[in-house]
Structure 1
Amino acid sequence: MYRTLIRPILFRLPIERAHRTVLRLLRVAGAFPGGHWLLERCCAVRHPALEREVFGVRFRNPVGIAAGFDCDAEVCRELEAMGFGFVETGTVTPRPQPGNPRPRIFRLPKDGALINRVGLANRGLEYMIRRLRRPHGDTIVGCNIGKNPATAPENAGADYLKLFRNLYQYADYFTVNISCGNGECESTTHTREYILRLLEPLFDFRRGQNQYRPILLKISPDLSDEAIDRITDVLVETPLDGIVATNGTHRREGLRTSPGVIERIGAGRLSGAPLTQRSIEIVRRIHERSGGAYPIIGSGGLMTADDVRRMLAAGADLVQLYTGYIYEGPRLVRDICRALIADAGAAGERTREVRNSDEA
């Protein structure tokens, strides 16, 4: 129904208007008595084989919605009712951000992709606190935090610490977003020195708290393999709890969309199917270098259940959807969960066969 009826309607609208429409409809559905129950009955798949415990948090299933979809934590419970195992809000900045001028998100249907240069548009810390103060039941909510663009790089740590301190009691985990809008500064933001300057105050604050909140780092897919290795070493050598790999890319190689269209769109992060292979490669590299001992959330280019299977096989513990969800709708989460249940059943059957063979 989504692909044949709902998506054609949404895709006739400018993408941000379509997105606001979806969020509004979810809020309306959640406001009605029994609305969450109905969403769950229609969309969610629940099964013990889907459950995961990662960095000390229990997830109903390993499929989350990535930061950027519910920037201001407006529909966390509704997204969980639609089948997601967790919701990552943000990116939130200390002060509200209007973002870049519109249009700033573009669909590339031929490539199953989006180009996004929103620029961390969000309503800021105070609004996020008001939203997360509201009861959200058993929904696992992560918070993706970043600095205001006007904040100088040498003062960035203060922005991250302010967000971390004030949201600490409301979020289940935090993702530190160090990517920048144009990609040109990522050679600076992805260095060991810069990352440690941001993370160490967060570690210090966490040591004084009664509750433990995992801290993850979200990285760019445009890094060299050597840079990925250096970041993985930071993971191994510090109290960092995991990595989210990856954000969108600034590269444009191999697209089916005509070069003229790409040139007219201009700058922005590319997400979706063109990113699949690189994201999986990065997750595999981090997994192997860290000895498989640290959690990884695989994100980027997950458009099908098979993509998720490959990402998990590469070493991801959890996955996040964004562009795939926009193109495929709620059916994608349901298909992934059913595929993982089937895989778990097949693995269990093989284990029983081996055991019976040994006993014989």
Structure 2
Amino acid sequence: MPPSSSSSSILYILLCIPCRNLHQYRHGGAVHSFVLPPSTMKRAASMTTSYLSAQVQGSFYAAAGAPSVDMTTYDLPLERTIDEWTAVVQPPSSLREGGVFLRAKDSRGELFVDTLQFSIRRGGGLGLILTEIAGGREDGIGITIIEEILADGNSAGVGLVPGDSIVSLSVSTSNGNGDVQTTMVSTECMGYDATIDAITSLPPSTSSDDVVNLTVKRVRRQPRINVRLQYPPNSDEDDVTIELFAGENLRRAMLTRGIKLNDRLAKRFDSGGSGDCGSDGTCATCVVGVARGMELLSPMGQQEEQILSKKPRWRMACKTVVGYGMVEGNMTLQVNPRQW
């Protein structure tokens, strides 16, 4: 019996790509519906693997540098992931392709969508159970996620987690003359049936060593940095604590939270006059003293290091990223350190 797109049930499937064998069963429960403008369903296309690499390299936390912690620390439980997934329509522009893309609802700005890539052996099937959590549209648009990773399947232990949504798959095949062709299918924001159609359109496996490259999106919480701000003793300002997220620029983050940052009494480093340079890193009027948590900040650039060579505990807020390496923790900063 072919998979049904009935809105009264959630469908599961064990993927067995090499033999195109689809084992199905039903589980009662409502499908979460959502509304999008009519759109043409994405279809299979041949692309080079450079496209997949670009997706991973363009991930959310690029400003925070390469993660130095186990990112699974920031994963969400499956139940919350299901509640947070949504789809948005992105119009095309000169800088990006238009289409329908996964996002987190995240009304409080505490989550982000990460993009991850995994290589999985094809022989014997992937061993994944998929669930459609939104769909029922004629154009095939929906949201399909991984419900379970089978303990004895090829996907066990590779790093996939329930709640991940497969956004693309690619395989490489040889034509016998030594030429290798990479075929990719896009499955982002597809319902159950459309996802299965796309997956089974991949060229069949020809060797037990063949692998499929999965690109998935995952909802994660943003690492938090609790910052205690201390003002000069003569300012009559009470200490305050603010919460920042990894990857935020320190100057921008403090200004958007209403923090009085730039020292109006300070002389510019570059000209000796007054006024700030607007985050060019030349005036040093936005410096802060780091009493605790220096390890949570991005490394100094050459210019900043030269300007602050005699103040090793100072940082230019405009050139500093918090939560570097996606590390969370606690910091204490002294605002306007020249006045201490």
Instruction: Give the TM-score band, short-chain normalised.
Output: under 0.3
Flag the structure with larger Rg. 2
Comparing both structures, which one devotes a greater share of its residues to helix? 1
TM-score of the two chains, using structure 2 as the length reference? 0.21
Between Structure 1 and Structure 2, which shows a larger proportion of strand residues? 2
Please, what TM-score do these two structures have when normalized by structure 1? Answer: 0.20
